Amino acid sequence: MDTMSLLMQGFAVALTPESIMFAVIGAILGTLIGALPGLGPANGVAILIPLAFSLGLSPTSSLILLTSVYAGAMYGGRISSILLNIPGDEPAMMTCLDGYPMAVKGKAAEALAISAIASFIGSFIATIGLVILAPILAKFALKFGPSEYFALFALAFATLGGITGKNQFKTLMAAAIGLMIATVGIDISTGVQRFTYNTLELFEGIDFIIAIVGLFAISELLFFLERHAGDGLKQVAINKLKLSPKDIVKVLPASFRGAVLGFVAGVLPGAGASLGSFISYTLEKRTSDKGEFGKGDPRGVAAPEAGNNGAASGALVPMLTLGVPGSGTTAVLLAMLISLNISPGPMLFQQNADLVWGVIAAMFVGNLVLLLLNIPMVGIFVKLLSIPPKYLMPVVTLIASVGIYSVSHSALDLYFMVGFGVLGYIFRKVDIPLVPIILGMLLGPEMEKSLRHALVLSDGDWTVLFNSGLSIGLWTVAILGLVLPIIIGPIVRAKMKRSKDTVKDS
Amino acid sequence: MLKTLSLKSVLITGAAALTIAGQAHAFEPARSAECIAPANPGGGWDFTCRSVGKVLVDQKYFSGNVQTVNMSGAGGGVAFAHTVSKRASDDNLIVAASTATTTRLAQGQFPGMNADQVKWVGTLGADYGIIAVGKESKYTSLSQVIDALKKDPGAVKFAGGSASGGWDHLKVLMTAQKANVEKLPNIRYLAFSGGSEALVQVVGGHVDAFTGDISEVKGFMDSGDLRVLAVLSEERLPAPFDSIPTAMEQGIDSVAPNWRGFYVPGKADTASYDWWVDTIDELYTTQEWKDVMTKNGLMPFHKSGAKFTEFVKNQTLDIKILSQDIGLIR
């Protein structure tokens, strides 16, 4: 009941004109970014963080804006999946399987509408899950001492590759690069300077936000340049929407199942949205009657969309309560929280109750806005999809540069941003994933700190790392998380590929 | 007659000229001013700049606005260097500072820079240090903690929100030193990236004691999860904190205010420096500022001009000696 009253207070924050405005702006920008092939939610949030900074928004408004962008990008990902057969982002890949065939059959409008409804259900149920689970987990988080936190960070790194990750070795390498960058600066446990070369600007280490904007946004610019800032892409024409209530009822069970599965996958660190949508799709295919999966079955559109949107909200649970992000995008959001001097974790629910519940309430509002935007107004986004990137990318770069400069008023930060952009470009060329770098940068110092603290408390006894049931449990999951993908990963990926190939063949 | 008259007129003209000259010397602030907050938005310095800027404009000291500029880096070092090297004679610039600034200056963490390179204007309040334990702790007074430390300096482990050697760490060391605890370097301090993280560990029962500021603990004090053993102020704080005993009451002469104030560039005009000192003095007495203090848990603490400069000098020296004593710096 306590939760209810807090949530109501949250709605008081979320329903102010200012908050609604930012939710709407975020939803529109997010959908647009999600719809553009290649620009996923992590990029979207990374590009818009500087915007929040340069506008001087309050923490609550920034977070409402960026969570709406996040949710919007998850919605938007489906548009290019369905119309172009190119997933807007990785989690939207499964939506191609049945979405594109539906579009080819002249049912593009139906596919878009069904997926919008499924996305809504996915987000809605997962947000309810967040409301219920987060406060419980926040209380439980008090049980986490330094050694438990160390195990938890180890778990986050171990499961980083996830089941859908392509190359475990490259993931590991990326995480190591992140950890290396994180060592720059004054070590707070000893006060010793590391790799600062007496440069004042390096004393506090390299700002995550600069790295994130450089790696994601600036490297994206370089990619567009390379493609000669090509024109819009060819897409399937949209028919007039003919959707009966019966059609909607038909996909509801699939949406609900997808939502719950997605949420669970999202809460688990490292698993994330891709896994959420994959499990939802496979389960739906297996449990449902034969249907026409892979040939344009509406349920095949609904399940993965509910799954990936559910996972998106689920991933916020560990981020807000423990400070450990469950996915790349939540890692980016976490970096922003830290930059705003808000430390996530159990204290967040105590000290910044207004902010947390305001943002959660804003997620409900944003979700409703997204549903409204995505059914009647989907045509606008489809049109935006054909805007040549040559107009879009300069705007993105401008926003990024102004935003980064406004945080520190230091030109050196801009050089760093460009440097990270070039690095990001190279990494992406050689298929080194970017998210583990960010996670390494974010979690590395925390992990080091936890280890030191644990050892100080135990007077140097290493067994302290394994002497509570909780930490042993976490280590077990961590080991499973590291080993299982090596065994199961290839099987799952082969399946994903096979189901995608069958679509192409048909 | 003519002579006296002319002499008189000369005198009058001369006096008038002097008055005009005097007025020309008095500092007239520009339409707008700038306040550098040497950190990201949302922290203490950012708060100092924004709240003082607002009151300055509300009280009509500036017809334009007081722009807060965030300049993070090196715990204030980037802003300090910027002020010293690029803005040395800017009359319309103030920079937010606190005990963290003097601590870093004292420990040489701003390489090649020292407290004399800027002019210290004044403080507008302080956040007093506290030492607290979780509700299940066996300690019920600061004296008990000190006794335990005297037997074994590693017996009580402290968690705080500043880096090793930072203000939260120093508060423990200063208190222990005043109570004649030996082997100060053996006192265990766990550095967290913020007061709230450290608090959670103490409330969760993982670390013995918390060192921080009074403004950080209200939530857990109200919920009964945290027992504040002592506040490091000269007198008891006003309600709702009046039930907390001071360290002095417990026989330990330790006072640790984390002040909030400003400095201006070192080559700023004397007249402009005086203007800022007078303005901060006036601002401190306004009802609007008192409301800001109450709302944000700032306690009375005001020093300005020469007195404040002296205070900064002494504090920097004290911290330097203590840091050398315990081996934090050589």
Domain final position from B250, B270, B294: B250
B72: CB partners within 8 A, 6+ apart: A204, A207, A407, A408, B38, B39, B40, B78
| Binary contact (A345, B197; C-beta < 8 A) | yes
CB A65 within 8 A of CB A26: yes
Of B70, B75, B192, the CB nearest to A407: B70
Question: In chain B, which residue's Cα lies nearest the Cα of A451?
Answer: B190
User: Is B13 a domain residue?
Assistant: no
Confidence band, pLDDT 50/70/90 cuts, at residue B278: very high
As a whole number of angstroms, the distance between CA A84 and CA A37 comes to 9
Mean pLDDT of B220-226: 87
Residue B19 has a pLDDT of: 45
Give the Å distances, CA to CA, from B147 to A327, A456, B103, B136, B183.
Answer: 48, 21, 28, 19, 14
d(CA A111, CA A91): 17
Judge: A343–B193 Cβ closer than 8 Å, yes or no: yes
The yes-or-no verdict on residue B262 having pLDDT over 90 is yes
Q: Identify whether the C-beta of residue A263 lies closer than 8 Å to the C-beta of residue A310.
A: yes
The overall average pLDDT reported for chain A is: 82
Question: Which CATH number is B98's domain given?
Answer: 3.40.190.150
Q: Which residue has the higher pLDDT, B16 or B100?
A: B100
Give the structural domain span for A300: 2-505
DSSP secondary structure letters along A136-158: HHHHHGGG--HHHHHHHHHHHHH
Tell me if A312 sits within 8 A of A126, measured CB to CB. Answer: yes
Report the Cα A359 to chain-centroid distance in Å: 16
- A33 with A47: CB under 8 angstroms? yes
Top-confidence residue, B5 or A273: A273
- Among B124, B125, B114, B74, CA closest to B94: B124
Judge contact between A99 and A66, C-beta under 8 A: no
Which alpha helices (H) appear in A142-271, and where do they start and end? 146-158, 168-182, 208-212, 219-226, 245-267
Claim to verify: residue B71 and residue B147 sit in the same structural domain: no
C-alpha distance from B171 to closest chain A C-alpha (Å): 16
- Local confidence band at A38 (pLDDT 50, 70, 90 cut-offs): low
Q: What is the pLDDT of residue B17?
A: 46
Q: How far apart (Å, rounded) are the C-alpha atoms in residues A303 and A256?
A: 8
Residue B20 placed within a domain: no
Rounded to whole angstroms, the Cα distance separating B13 from A377 reads: 79
Residue B280 belongs to domain spanning: 33-126+258-325
Mutate to test the interface with B, among A137, A409, A471 (most CBs of B within 10 A): A409
Question: How high is the pLDDT of residue A166?
Answer: 64
Q: Of A94-98, A128-132, A363-367, A448-452, which range is least confident? A: A94-98
- Helix, strand, coil content of chain B in percent (nearest 5): 45, 20, 35
CATH number, domain of B214, equals 3.40.190.10
Does B223 lie in the same domain as B133? yes
Tokens 């302290």 — which residue?
A: A464
What whole-number distance in Å separates Cα of residue A218 and Cα of residue A230? Answer: 17
Same domain, B218 and B204: yes
Q: What is the 3-state secondary structure (H, E, C) of A462-496?
A: HHHHHCCHHHHHHHHHHHHHHHHHHHHHHHHHHHH
Which chain B residues are Cβ-neighbours of A406 within 8 angstroms? 70
Ramachandran angles phi, psi of A199, nearest 5° = -95, 115
Give CA–CA dist A32/A79, Å, rounded: 9
Q: Do A346 and B200 touch (CB under 8 A)?
A: yes
- CB under 8 Å to A123, separation ≥6 — which residues? A71, A74, A309, A310, A312, A313, A363, A367, A370
Residue B151's pLDDT band, with cuts at 50, 70 and 90, is very high
Residue B184 and residue B159 in one domain: yes
Judge if B245 and B268 occupy the same domain. no
Q: What SS3 string covers B67-102?
A: EEEECCCHHHHHHHHHHHHCCCCCCCEEEEEEHHHH
Residue B223 inside a domain? The answer is: yes
Domain match, B293 and B304 both: yes
pLDDT in tens, B297-326: 889 999 999 999 999 999 999 999 999 988
Residues 132-161 of A with CB under 8 A from B: 141-146
**Other CB atoms within 10 A of residue B325 CB:** 13
CB atoms within 10 A of CB B55: 19
- On whether both B240 and B172 belong to a single domain, the answer is yes
- Residue A463 CB contacts under 8 Å (≥ 6 apart), including other chains: none
Within 8 A of A445 by CB-CB distance, chain B residues are 193
| Residue range A296-320, pLDDT digits in tens | 888 888 998 998 889 888 888 888 8
- Which of A33-37, A412-416, B247-251: highest mean pLDDT? B247-251
Q: Is the pLDDT of residue B280 over 90?
A: yes
Q: Looking at the structure, do residues B91 and B144 belong to the same domain, yes or no?
A: no
- Residue B47's pLDDT band, with cuts at 50, 70 and 90, is confident
Quick one: pLDDT band at residue A289, thresholds 50, 70, 90? low
Identify the CA nearest to A118 among candidates A8, A276, A1, A268.
A276
Which amino acid does the sequence have at A281?
Y
Tell me the per-residue pLDDT of B227-239, one tens digit each, with 9 for 90 and over: 999 999 999 998 8
Q: Which residues of A109-131 are buried (b: 16+ CB within 10 A; e: fewer)?
A: bbbbbbbbbbbbbbbbbbbebbb
Distance (Å, whole) CA B241 – CA B172 = 20
Total domain count for chain A?
Answer: 1
Specify the number of domains making up chain B.
2
Residue A232 has pLDDT above 70, yes or no: no
Judgement on whether residues B111 and B172 belong to the same structural domain of the protein: no
- Do B117 and B264 fall into the same domain? yes
Spatial separation of the C-alpha atoms in residues B202 and B136, rounded to whole Å = 10
- Asked if the model's pLDDT at residue A459 lies above 70, the reply is yes
pLDDT for res B146: 95
Interface of B with A (CB under 8 A): 39-43, 46, 69-75, 77-78, 81, 109-111, 154, 157, 162-166, 188, 190-194, 196-197, 199-201, 203-207, 219-220, 328
Q: Of A143, A191, A339, which has the smallest distance from its Cβ to B164's Cβ? A: A191
* Same-domain check for residues B93 and B133: no
Q: Nearest to residue A214, comparing CAs of A430, A445, A431, A412? A: A412
Contacts of B118 (CB under 8 A, 6+ apart): B80, B83, B84, B95, B263, B264, B265, B266
Claim to verify: residue B133 and residue B188 sit in the same structural domain: yes
Instruction: Give every CB contact of residue A53 below 8 A, 6+ residues apart in sequence.
Output: A62, A209, A339, A403, A404, A406, A407, B41
